[in-house]
Amino acid sequence: MNPGQQLSITCTDLDDLGAGLGAVDGRRVHVAGALPGERVTAVVEHVSRQEPAAWARLVTVEAPAPERRQPACPAFGSCGGCILQHFAYEAQLAWKRRRVGDAFAARSVLAGITIDPCVPSPKPLGYRNKSKLVVARTADQGRLVLGAYAPRSHDVVEVAGCRIAESPLDETAGALRAILDEAGVRPYDERTLTGNLRHVVLRSNHAGQVLAVWIAARPLPDGAALARRFRAVRPEVVGVVEHENRTRGNVLFSDAGDNERILDGAGTIEDRVEVAGRSVLLTLSPGAFFQANRAVAGLAYAALAAGLGARSIDRIVDAYSGAGGIALALAPFASEVIGIESHAGAVADATASAGLNGITNARFVVGDAAALLTGLDRADLVVLNPPRKGCAPSVLAQVVRLAPRALAYLSCDPDTLARDLEALAAHGYRARAVTPFDMLPHTPHVETLVLLPKSA
């Protein structure tokens, strides 16, 4: 098999990135855009030298699967975002459940654990509360674009008309693009290190308000005047913040101190998540983590609380607390809640949110999770909601030392979840309930909640 070779392939599954997966002459072939059950024609683009695998570009669908659907977004295929829009939503949910099950089955200690059906998003479209947009200019006309990277490249694709973003994010982005283009704002060029504006992040809340963050390699000339004009055109924008990021590479937010300034309006936005009929108010600053699907976050938090059996708990420790959503949702069930988070801005947000909710039994501390867990003497429940790489071994060691009665693990990656659950099982923590949640419809991502009581 060689690059440029044309193949006829029958796809039997999707890989972890959402590409169709088939086999030719004993070699796995990944075809983006193909679906399970389809026979397609594809052209080989890359052949691995380390393993029997190849990646190919879809040319034609010879026999479409019954689950194939017309994508909703005009940029589908060129945008690297919601790449499963052509896959029926019910089929997406079933595949995500299987993906979690496959990760568990690969580790013998987890084999046989029942995986609940994937909880659907109440809104498969228009659910995403944050847009992260790349700033560029078109090669032909030099027109400014707020878009996304094409798959496996740094080519920027225009995403006007995005259907997964909450209203009014797409309309707000369109107005901002016109203002920045007219002002002659120069996009940052990562090759020549010239220009100013790198990304725009727009965060919306439950009330349709928007916080805009301009991520710049260096301050924009007349940035404050542009921000005032933007807010005059789009009154739902409660504030514009400029975040200066001079680092090389693709990191969105720099962790350098004193690199943010409010150009106009507010520097944070207040959001609300509904948890089993109760509202939890959240203050969110530009770089704070909060789940991109507010409705599904509320369902996951409610399932976590229900798993506690509504019993009173002495101390809950949330080891990756982010902006405090989970910790504040669980506060009514505990005498004390401690949230641990490495992002100082998120800790400030969570502390402010506790005040908004009238919660006095929750406190939040900033620092490394393993180091701060070392300083605790006990915990009745530990909540783990780590980034995609999962928990560091040092964190798991400290969790085991605390010997809580139960653990709750909310994961965004099935493979690192399975790895960490295998480590915890050796210490008597075995999964009792495993529930996938479709936090990001039309993407390969799946969020999974696992409740682990301590064995006697």
Q: Is 412 a catalytic residue?
A: yes
- Is there a single domain that holds both residue 259 and residue 192? yes
Residues 58 and 97 in one domain: no
Taking the CB of residue 335, how many other CB atoms lie within 10 A of it?
Answer: 12
CB half-sphere exposure, 383, CA atoms < 13 A: 31
153 occurs within a structural domain? yes
**Longest CA–CA separation in the chain, Å:** 69
Q: Is residue 408 assigned to a domain?
A: yes
Q: What is the CATH number of the domain that holds 250?
A: 2.40.50.1070
In a domain, 229, yes or no: yes
Average pLDDT over residues 107-136: 95
Give the per-residue pLDDT at 310.
57
Check whether residue 449 and residue 300 sit in a common domain: yes
Nearest Cα to 183, choosing from 144, 153, 139, 238?
144
Residue 190 has pLDDT above 90, yes or no: no
DSSP state, 17? Answer: T
Task: Say yes or no to pLDDT of 385 above 80.
Answer: yes
Classify residue 122: in a domain, yes or no.
yes
The single-letter code of the amino acid at 296 is: V
Please report the pLDDT score of residue 30 as a whole number: 97
Q: For the residues 357-385, what does the mean pLDDT come to?
A: 96
**In this structure, are 123 and 143 located in the same domain?**
no
CATH number for the domain harbouring residue 20:
2.40.50.140
pLDDT for residue 421: 97
> What average pLDDT is seen over the chain?
94
CATH number for the domain harbouring residue 115: 3.40.50.150
Residue count (the chain)? 456
Q: List the beta strands (DSSP E) in 15-71.
A: 20-24, 27-32, 39-47, 53-63
Q: Say if residue 387's pLDDT is above 80.
A: yes
- What residues are paired with 135 via a beta bridge? 146
Sign of CA dihedral 438, 439, 442, 445: negative
Active-site position among 79, 82, 391, 412: 412
Name the token pair of 427: 């210490």
The one-letter amino acid code at 87 reads F
* 157 in the same domain as 118: no
284 falls within a domain: no
Rg value, the chain, Cα: 23
Do 252 and 318 fall within a single domain?
no
pTM for this prediction: 0.94
- Considering the domain architecture, whether residues 369 and 447 belong to the same structural domain is answered as yes
Distance from chain centroid for Cα 417: 15
Cα separation, 179 vs 157, in Å, equals: 19
Instruction: With respect to residue 310, please indicate whether it lies within any of the assigned structural domains.
Output: yes
Q: How many domains does the chain have?
A: 3
**Checking DSSP bridges between strand 278-284 and strand 269-275, what pairing results, if any?**
antiparallel
For residue 218, what pLDDT is reported?
Answer: 93
What tens digit of pLDDT does each residue of 40-68 get? Answer: 999 999 999 999 999 999 999 999 999 99
Torsion sign, CA atoms 104, 105, 110, 116: positive
Give the mean model confidence (pLDDT) for residues 288-303: 95
State residue 388's pLDDT score.
Answer: 94
Q: Is the pLDDT assigned to residue 456 strictly greater than 70?
A: no
114 plus 28 within the same structural domain: no
In which band, very low, low, confident or very high, does the pLDDT at 255 lie, cut at 50, 70 and 90?
Answer: confident
Determine the Cα–Cα distance for residues 385 and 303; give it in Å rounded to an integer: 14
Please indicate, yes or no, whether residues 121 and 149 belong to a single structural domain of this protein: no
Query: Do residues 266 and 167 share a domain?
Result: yes
Domain span at residue 451 reads 81-127+292-456
- Which of 360, 308, 363, 356 is closest to 340 using CA atoms? 363
Task: Give yes or no: residues 418 and 433 share one domain.
Answer: yes
Domain-embedded: residue 280: no
Distance of alpha carbon 379 from alpha carbon 381, whole angstroms: 6
Residue 89: strand, helix, or coil? helix
Span 195-240, pLDDT tens digits? 999 999 999 999 999 999 999 999 999 999 999 999 999 999 999 9
Q: Are residues 109 and 188 in the same domain?
A: no
Residue 69 lies in a domain: no
Q: What is the mean pLDDT of residues 175-179?
A: 97
